[in-house]
Structure 1
């Protein structure tokens, strides 16, 4: 059995082999301090297992990134993983541990018992305005925390939003395959699911914090109207994201307050400078707009129906099930230049 690198500790593990579309099933093997007890998901860049700590009997999601990777990629991964592990926010999934086995990286992450928002709200489902406001505030506050630390998510979508305890939203997948994507090219056809949320400047290769705001604007549009701003093939969506204006929200949902429409459309501006100055400002403007009725009159504020924070705990990981889907595009966390 091979050994893995975790700081200065070497632990016996077994890891996937590179090559092929189907990776070996490692259920029953030990990865670091965790026994792999169930495969939860598999994607182009990695596999996720349910793991149980061999001593504490706590559970975690173990993400194995397909390898092997070369030395430069491994060093890039370790730097990314250290940054991710340092993030502490009520609405960001915690990275608990990470390591490398013969050039193949892995991460140990906490559970989100409710799965993803994509699972909870399938494509085409319209959500109540106050539910959208609650979701966006949680995601925006998490992203504002990351932006304040000069980090950009780059791949915001419902599959990367998990439901934790008390139905809190947890943001995950801050571009965990950054180095792999830089070294392993990918056909544009495989990026369609993510292209729908990509800002025009991101499609041109220039990403800023405002790109995350655009993606959150797409989420707001989709949840409020039941459809994304643009549809079609990969190429068609990319062209529309860059050149076309989306239909107004009130053309699809006339009962939406006018200010909500203006707020979302501003977040979807082609020019990043025309969007809100921060992603938190976007979320607060949407909340303010939600207090209007369809005629523009201000209504009383509704009672909050979501939890804004979860306490930290040293009593081990929460239990439950998680679904981690894999980013198949170069949507990585990077330091702002």
Structure 2
């Protein structure tokens, strides 16, 4: 219900002292096009030309300006942040770009709430996106390395860090490639876990790997990058075939790793619900969504997939000198 906010902020006159705040809210939170005179008043130090040159705003017809980024407040019990991301399909109708960078969402927030907030020397955020996890890690981790395959995501994560007075080691690359040979006390990841055919239509959701193989690979490579006693917390999706127990599938990923694990399946979605969720997220037109959805559902059917498990995987590496089988 965003329209009451549009109506309320529209009541400020051009001479009103509240114009700057109302303009910022309308531009970045409500997706409204605004007159340049109001925007100039909202950003007297930076100036409109600089914001246009940096790709934050774009000029459209009749002296109006439009935000090209989503910049919104975010926080927890003790911190207030600003997060820079791309505008989603709900805010700016039409299909999102292939390198679209998600902002604050349900998945990222569920991971942020689940992270164990114990002090850590080195932390790794795989698939950082706009940097939400790194923001929260900053309060209890001495050093943060954040990676992504999407160069645009790294650019927006860098902007998020600077707006909040933080500095992270941002690196480009897939999975553990950017941190080869390095170990961490805490690893977190909200990866592109969407189960599908292996096409990479949208970087933020599609791994380019068939099925749930990316999540399996991520779990299997964790032992080489966790310090003894270190923890990893991952969001994941997994395939559930007819008559199969999801615990056996995820347990197979952990077999031989030596890691203790706590796996929570919060939901098992049927293929139609799952595909519908991700098609609506991308903002494609009805015909394109129908074609993609049909191909996706055919793939599920061909592979005897009756549901997709959605949840989190928390693992801990054994302390130095400890041996034995992992617990699940």
**TM-score, with structure 2 as normaliser:** 0.27
Task: Looking at secondary structure, tell me which structure has more strand per residue.
Answer: 2
**TM-score, with structure 1 as normaliser:** 0.26
Larger radius of gyration: 2
